[in-house]
A and B are shown apart, each in its own frame.
Chain A
Amino acid sequence: MKPTFLRNAPLVATIVASLSFGSSLSSVAQPKDVTIGLAVANLQADFFNQIKQSVEAEAKAKGVTVVTVDAKGDSATQVSQVQDLITRGIKALIYIPAGATAAGVPVKAAKAANIPVICVDRTPPDAPGDTFIATDSVSAAKTLGEYVGKITDGKGKIGILQGQLGTTPEQDETKVSMKP
């Protein structure tokens, strides 16, 4: 039977390695510089991925630290992630809600911590952010619908591929497409 020290050596080595790894990581970003949070709905969609890349590029140019969190489409995850961002001490939050309606909870939490919220692409109806940036889905859908009507002489059938149910663009676009 190996002596206790030798048996524990791998464990001790792991601890030492992790501590040195940990302290090297700590130089990456401590919350004393300006940090903003970016809560993305789902990085699997290229649209959101591009938003993330642009935000990070712009932040790098301005010398601001961006912490990105990906909710993978789950509102509950996003609530926890925004909670963690607030603990970290972000100065502002760029928020792309993962599900339209649970979306109010992170905004309320950020407001309670005096953090300004900028909603992108989707906004919670009951707790809107301080700013809302999005493409105008209503007129986009109207233009598309009119174009389809023109090329099919008003007799075409449109199939609507609904994205995530209940989100702002989905509801707006469906609303408009339903008009004759």
Chain B
Amino acid sequence: MLPPQLENTATARTALAPAKAKRKFTWANWVIGVQGPLFGLVLLCIIFSCTTNVFLSVRNALNILDQVTVLGILAIGMTAVIVIGGIDLSVGSVLALTMMIMGWLRDTWDVPIPIGIAIALLAGTACGLANGLLVTKAKLPAFIATLTMMSVGRGLANIVTDGRQVVGFPDWFTALASVRNFGFLSVTVGLFIALVIVSWVFLNYHAVGRSLYAIGGGAEVARLAGIHVQRLTLWVYALAGLLSGVAGIAMASRLDSSEPSAGLGYELDTIAAVVIGGASLSGGVGGIAGTVVGVLIIGVLHNGLNLSGVSPFVQQVIIGVVIALAVTFDTLRRKEN
């Protein structure tokens, strides 16, 4: 068992209790967990329904879902990374790289799209693995390791086609993002929802998922408790790379093209979404439900401000202020508890 001085620490308890204690799921517990950000989201929706009469419609809600799909898929991977106490600045570049690889393979080598997608996803996972190796073996701080991948990935994305864009995917591929089956669900949105459900179940109820929180709470304690910290860290970064790849494919479908400048700056929005959702940048706290709310807040903000005709410069100020307010409310609420 553990050395005596570590037995009572909270992380030790979480680490030792993974598969045996089943967390009781009640709707009450779930709502309380995302209460702060959820309240902010509802408030935003109310405000925008007052400022413009086209906000509150099914069609607009579906538009918002469309618009946040790419960000949402990135944010799922980022949630896992932030929960273990790391950070991933390379998500935008890996997104661009996978988009370009798939487009280039099809354009220059006539590789069928499904195979192109598989190769591109492998490349994305490889980038994620590289991040993980830099963090675990070279012991680089996550910020620096992923910063280098951000630069290398962007450069590679440009090298693939010498900076050119690839245009024109077949109709069935763009239909994945544009056609709303049953009147409301496009394939990319459905994929996003499926990924959310799977990752939520994994993080909350699976032993490995719960041990990620232990790593975030204290890596050394987790290691002493028998969790394979290095191996799991590698997996998490690889997963983030894979999900960046999936997001890249979704974006290629939405834009009907691949461009090397895609995803510039997306890492900031992704991190903002995860933190608004209640995650702590020092690790150990956070969850998929909160992240989804954070992603929706960002999507609703952009959409509502566009619909209300607010000037682009004022939009930037408002978005910054709202993000600061959202995180402040959440931090104050948690301190009160």
Q: A residues within 8 Å of B by Cβ?
A: 11, 14-15, 18-19, 21-23, 25-26, 28-31, 35, 40, 43, 65, 67-70, 72-76, 79-81, 83-85, 87-89, 99-102, 104-105, 125-126, 164-166
Is B19 on the interface with A (CB-CB < 8 A)?
no
Q: B residues within 8 Å of A by Cβ?
A: 39, 43, 46-48, 50-54, 57, 59-60, 63, 66-67, 70, 163-168, 251, 254-257, 259-265, 302-303, 306-309, 311-313, 315
Given contacts A74-B264, A165-B164, contact A101 B259 (CB under 8 A): yes
Given contacts A26-B51, A99-B259, A100-B165, contact A84 B307 (CB under 8 A): yes
- A81 and B299 CA atoms in complex are apart in Å by 11
Given contacts A101-B257, A166-B165, contact A87 B54 (CB under 8 A): yes
- A151 and B166 CA atoms in complex are apart in Å by 39
Total CB contacts across the A-B interface at under 8 A: 127
Chain A residues lying within 8 Å of B60, measured Cβ to Cβ, are 87
Chain A residues lying within 8 Å of B302, measured Cβ to Cβ, are 80, 84
Contact at B66–A89, with CB atoms within 8 Å? no
Chain B residues lying within 8 Å of A100, measured Cβ to Cβ, are 165
Ranked nearest first, the 6 interchain pairs of A and B with the lowest CB-CB distance are A22-B50, A70-B312, A84-B306, A102-B255, A101-B165, A67-B309
21 A–B pairs (Cβ distance < 8 Å), ordered by A? A18-B46, A19-B46, A19-B47, A19-B50, A22-B50, A25-B50, A25-B308, A28-B309, A40-B312, A43-B313, A67-B306, A69-B312, A80-B66, A80-B302, A83-B63, A87-B57, A87-B60, A87-B63, A87-B307, A104-B256, A165-B260
Chain B residues lying within 8 Å of A19, measured Cβ to Cβ, are 46-47, 50
Contact at B59–A87, with CB atoms within 8 Å? yes
Interface of A is mostly: mixed
- A75 and B60 CA atoms in complex are apart in Å by 20
Chain A residues lying within 8 Å of B70, measured Cβ to Cβ, are 76
Chain A residues lying within 8 Å of B256, measured Cβ to Cβ, are 102, 104-105
Contact at B59–A28, with CB atoms within 8 Å? no
CB A163 to nearest CB in B, in angstroms, measures 12
Chain B residues lying within 8 Å of A11, measured Cβ to Cβ, are 39
CB B290 to nearest CB in A, in angstroms, measures 19
Contact at B259–A65, with CB atoms within 8 Å? no
Contact at B52–A30, with CB atoms within 8 Å? yes
- A19 and B265 CA atoms in complex are apart in Å by 32
CB B68 to nearest CB in A, in angstroms, measures 9
Chain A residues lying within 8 Å of B315, measured Cβ to Cβ, are 70
